[in-house]
Structure formats: C-alpha cells, structure tokens
A and B are shown apart, each in its own frame.
Chain A
Amino acid sequence: MKPKVLWVEDSARLELANLCGPVFFKGACDLTLAEDVTTAVNLILAERFDVLILDIRLPPGSDVHWRHHYRRTGSNKVNAQLGIKLLYWLLGRDRAIHPAAPPVWIRPDRIGVFTVETRHEISPYLDELQIKVSQEKNADLPDTILDELIERLLSQAPVVVE
C-alpha cells in the first residue's frame, strides 16, 4: 500500500501545479490536495495520512471557527497565518482554536511546512511543536521539491504497515 500524503496549499492547482508532476510521475504515494483549512480538517478527520505538508498563509474555507480566526486578523491570509493555528490544533496544543478533537494519529515527525516564510520567522512555533521539516518557497526551487519533502518526512517517520 502506498503512503498517503496530504498537501494543504491554496496555490497547488495554480502557481505550484508543476510540483505535483514528479509526485504523480513517480507514483510512489497517493497525493491528496486541500486548498483551504476547512477542507484539510475534514480530510484529516475522515482518513489517516502518513504525511502532512502545510502552507502557512491559508484561506479558511467555510467552517465558522476558521472563518472567525481569519476575520479577527482583518481577513488577510498573511496576518492570519492559519497554517500555524492549524498546526497548534492538530498537535493538541491549543484546544480553543477549534472545538473538534484532532485525530490521535497526528505526530510532529509526519508534518512538514512548505511556505514563503523563512525558517527563522516561524521557528518559535515549529520548535515548540517539534516540527523539524520545513522548506521556504522561492523561485529557485526545483520542481521535485514536493517529492523531496515527502521523502524527507517518510525517511524521518517510516510508514509501518499494520
């Protein structure tokens, strides 16, 4: 069975579509996309993923709680940093973010962050959450970067067939 990967990224079908090519070409994992936080949470609550790769500047989607967080910061993806809030909720660090309980299978070594923010900018959060894999987006990246991130996470937390 192939590892299941969820990529939470609102530009995945647009500017970053090329990054999915190598993943599908290799066919080594099942890649699913979520383009907003609500969709990501619904998918995560419905099925188990071996790897999660998250953007930080995400739109909220339709869920009222995520929309509330979004509105509180002026309805601006850059200020809202919903990806950080999603991480805190996923790893059970802040239950006030969303009333739903995060699934028990979530582990920090299965999560990677792929964002325009530098590691330095978000390191206080990532260090606290013990997330080691992060990649800054820039124009120089090869189109294999998503595949490489998936490999790094899978080698950090190998998938065990139960």
Chain B
Amino acid sequence: MSGADSIQDVLERVDLTQLPVGVYVIAEDGRFLACNASARVVLGLPSEGPPSGSITELHVDLDRHAELVKAAQQAEREGSGFERAVVHLRIDTRDVFVEDCLYPLRAQPGGELIGYVGCMIDITEDHQATERNLALQDKVEELTLDIGRILHANTSTLLMVNQTLVAVAGALAPPELDCNSVEASDPQRIEIWIEHTAAALGQALERLVTAGEPERRLQALPEHAWKQLSNQIALLREYRERIPIEELRNPTLRISAAAVASLCHGIAPHVLPREPVRDATRLAMELQRAVCCADVRTTRAAVIQMDFTLRALRDFITAEMRPREHRERLRVPMLIQEAIAQLAEFARSSNVDLVWRERPHDLLVFGSERDLLRALANLLHNAIKYSWRRDRGKPPWVSIRTEERAGMACMEFESWGVPITHDEIERGLIYQMGYRGKWSTDRGRLGTGIGLTDALRVATAHGGDLLVDSQPAQVSGLRPEDDAYYRNPFLTRVTLRLPVCE
C-alpha cells in the first residue's frame, strides 16, 4: 500500500467516510493524504477530491504538531495506544478546538513510517463554554473575596461603633441608677427616669415662666421665647397622650429638652431669681441625657444585630473558599453554651431572656464545630429577633431544649411571636435563599434570608435535618383565612436534629 489514492481507497473500503468523528491520514511532513467526510467538515476542506494542504498550516501554535507527533511515536514505542490532546486550529478566520489523537502509520511489510492516522472531534462549543465558565468562576472567586473583605471592614466599623456606644452610655447614665454600662442598664428603669425627669422639667418650667415680675421676664428673654417655653409645659406633661406610639416619644422629648436648654442658656443673667432658671436648665439637660441613654441602647441593639447579620453573611459567602472543616466528636451542651455566648449580647440588648431547659451532659454529635455553631447561632438569632414582648413588665424569652430522640440529638429553639405560615413551611419557602418570612418583614427586622438556608445545609451535610413548626400561641377560634389570624402571636419551634455519636 503506497500513495494517497490507495490510502483513501482503504478508508472508503472500510467505510470510515461517514463516521461521526473526523478520521484523516497525513504524510510525515503533515500533508493531508486522505480524510473522511467529518474531518473535511471540521478542517474546512472540499467535500470531494483529494484533500490538499497540510495540517501544520492550521495549527495556531506552530510547535504543537511536532509535539503531537512526538507523543504519538512515544505512545507507539510504549504500546500505550492513542494519546488524546486538545488542539487549537484556525480554519480561515475561525478558532476551532478539536480533541485529536495521532498514531503512526507503517508500511507492510517493512514497517517504514509512511505517515500518521489521526482522529478528531470538534469540541469548540464545549471548550469555549468551559473557558467562559472558568473565567466566570475566577470572577466569582475574586468577588467573593472582595465581599468578604468589605464585610470584614464593616464588622470592624461596627465594633468601633459598639464600643463608642458603650462608652457614651456609661457617661450618660446617672450613678443612682447604677447602670454605667449598656449591659447593666434596664430599659424599664431608663423609661422611668425619662418619665420622672420630663414631669419634673414641666414643673420647673411652670415655676420659671412665673418667676419674677413680668417686666423683668421680658428683659431676660423675648416674648416669643417665653411662649415657646410655655408650650413645652403641656407637651412634657402630656407626651404619653399626645404621642400614642411609644417609639416616637423619645425623639420628641429629646428635641423638646434641647429647645428648653437652649432657651434657658439664653436667659440674661442676674435678671430673674437664680433657682428656677438653674432647675429648668439642669432638668432639660438631664432629660436630654436620659433620652440619649435610651437611644444609645436601641442603637446598640441594632448595631449588634447588624454585626451578627454581617458575620453570618460573610461566613456563608466564603464557606466554599475555606478548606473543608475538620470534623470531630462534639458535646451538644458545649455547642449550645457557645451559641448562647455568641448571642448573649444581642439577647440582652433586645431584652430577650434565654432559658435553657433539659441539658443532657453526655449527648455527642460528630461534625465541624464551626459549621454547627454557625447553624445553631443562626437559629437562636432568628428566635430572638422574632420574639414579641408580652407585656411591659416581662421580657420575652427564647426557650432552648436539648435531648435525644430516636438516635438523634435534638436542639430545639422555641420563641413566642412572629408567625410562620403553614404554606411557607409545607412548600419549603423558608429554606430558600434570600426568602424573608411573610410576617417577618412587617416589623422592620433586619435580615439576610440565609439563616435557615445555611442551617439546613449544615444539618444535611452532617446527616441531620431541620424541623420547623409554628402554631398559634392561644386558642382563638380564628382561621388562617381571617385577617387577625396571623396578627396574633405564634409559638415557633425550630429543631436541629443530628445523629447521635456513640
């Protein structure tokens, strides 16, 4: 067998022409000797007649053909068969990627090398898609790290804000309340402080606006300023009735107190009796302090919540970037204790009591401490966040239970407050990334919607699961279709179940 025609004859005789893969034969120098139909399509050669040109002219990398030939000869020597390689060709102006393999073709008898037989598949679309995916993946990784860095920077800012707020609270709180830090301060006592100071300021203003003779009063302050001071008396006395929404009272009192303090500072000296001026000024400044103290507490609760959310988000986003966490035997009480410690500040600032019932000391699970802690902290955070306050004198609570049931370690968080609808649980909506509960958004609570998604992911990765149940806290006779049904508090239990480790 020799020459191009006879090799083409061989190809046609064994009916390789219509194979869905490109089969071709080249001479030692790369000239085409024969091609089947598929190879002609891939290589852009005429569909009939002897093929012309050389495969070396089609290679984008000129050294690539020599490398493939070398690899084919080595494979033949070693008897290891065909070596596949991805080859970049340029056909006219098109970039074409093929998976190609070559094998030496030898004359019989004699065994001298007469060329190479090759086999190729066009993988251009797959190759380009892979390239795009790799580029996209690089961008995602870069973005993930960027987001992680930004979140980290924001966490540091929040730490600074938090520490400043603690210092401010310490400076504002009076020693007789024995609350020189936000941790120790009791919101009820601050509220009473505000109430008493506002009432005292109202009385002091009453004395001030009648102090001295009318002519001397007008020497001390212009008439419109006295009118402004008089207007504040009623507001300070009746602020609860005038402003029915509790959260809006302090901002009003703060402005009122600031206005009174400013007017009192403007009173001309030595014109009016000193005592009523001094009392009104002192009480106005005290009211400002008291209201700011309450505001610091509220702001700090928001900062702590934001800090947790950012940390959870950062952990979630960078989860795939971290090396696989080491797994070990872990004591459930230790995990719960640690989760409580992480959220203690948030619970305190939200005025929610954490009650841990039933704590078997010997319950063990096997897993990643970091992942399990994150899952438990997410569940506890949700329970605190979605708790309603039952009445003025009694803070809300989250009840925690840990026990073994049917070979599973159950870690249950029960809260009283925001409902989760049956539909949201049944359809698994609450586990969807970014989903915010139907009744959770109405109360302006900050969240990312990844807490339960992440917790479920962690539970599943540890061979466990997550159970969610939410029922009306009281029997009311209302049905889910009734407007008021979901306006009433629900008892919500979220249980993380993990296989018990012996």
Which of A13, A15, A75 sits near B248, CB closer than 8 Å? A13
Asked if B45 is at the interface of the complex by the 8 Å CB criterion, the answer is: no
A interface, size bucket: 20 to 34
Q: Looking at B250, B252, B302, B487, which has the most chain A CB atoms within 10 Å of its CB?
A: B252
* Min CB–CB distance B39 → chain A (angstroms): 51
CA distance A77 to B449 in the complex (A): 13
- List the B side residues contacting A12 at CB < 8 Å: 248
Q: Which of B235, B245, B251, B484 contacts A33 (CB 8 A)?
A: B245
Within A68-109, the residues touching B (CB, 8 Å) are 75-77
Tell me the B416-452 residues at the A interface (CB within 8 Å): 435-436, 438, 441-442, 444
The digit string for B234-255, where 1 denotes a CB below 8 A from any CB of A, is 0100000011010110111011
Contact residues in A for B121 (Cβ distance below 8 Å) = none
Contacts of A15 on B, CB cut-off 8 Å? Answer: 302, 444
Interface residues of A (CB under 8 A from B): 10-15, 17-22, 24-25, 27, 33, 35-36, 59, 61-63, 75-77, 143
Query: Are B442's CB and A24's CB within 8 A?
Result: no
Determine the chain A residues whose CB is within 8 A of the CB of B251 once the complex forms.
Answer: 17-21, 24, 143
Shortest A144–chain B CB gap in Å is: 9
Q: Are B441 and A77 in contact (CB under 8 A)?
A: yes
Chain B residue nearest to A143 (CB atoms) is B251
Known: A25-B259, A75-B436. A59 touches B247 (CB 8 A): no
In the bound complex, CA of A6 to CA of B158 (Å): 34
> Assuming A17-B248, A36-B442, what are 11 further A-B pairs, CB within 8 angstroms?
A10-B442, A13-B245, A13-B247, A17-B250, A20-B248, A21-B251, A21-B254, A24-B248, A25-B259, A27-B235, A62-B487
Closest to A63 in B: B483
CA of A137 to CA of B413, assembled, Å: 37
Q: Residues of A contacting B435 with CB < 8 Å?
A: 75
Interface of B is mostly: helix
Determine if B441 and A24 form an interchain contact, defined as CB atoms under 8 angstroms apart. Answer: no
Q: Is B256 an interface residue (CB 8 A)?
A: yes
22 A-B interface contacts by CB (under 8 A): A10-B444, A11-B444, A12-B248, A14-B247, A15-B444, A17-B250, A19-B251, A20-B245, A20-B251, A21-B250, A21-B252, A24-B235, A25-B259, A27-B231, A33-B245, A35-B444, A59-B441, A62-B483, A62-B486, A62-B487, A75-B436, A76-B436
Within the complex, what minimum Cβ distance (angstroms) separates B89 from chain A?
Answer: 47
A-B contact count (CB 8 A): 63
Most central of A33, A62, A63, A77 by chain B CB within 10 Å: A62
Contact present for A61 and B255 (CB under 8 Å): no
* Chain A hits for B247, CB < 8 A: 13-14, 17
Q: Considering the complex, give the chain B residue whose CB is closest to the CB of A18.
A: B251
Q: Which of A17, A25, A35, A63 contacts B442 (CB 8 A)?
A: A35
| Nearest opposing residue in chain B for A61, CB measure | B442
A33–B444 Cα distance when bound, in Å, is: 14
The 4 A-B pairs with the shortest beta carbon distances in the complex, nearest first, are A21-B251, A13-B247, A24-B252, A14-B444
B248 and chain A: residue at smallest CB distance: A20
In the complex, what residues of B have CB within 8 A of residue A17's CB? 247-248, 250-251
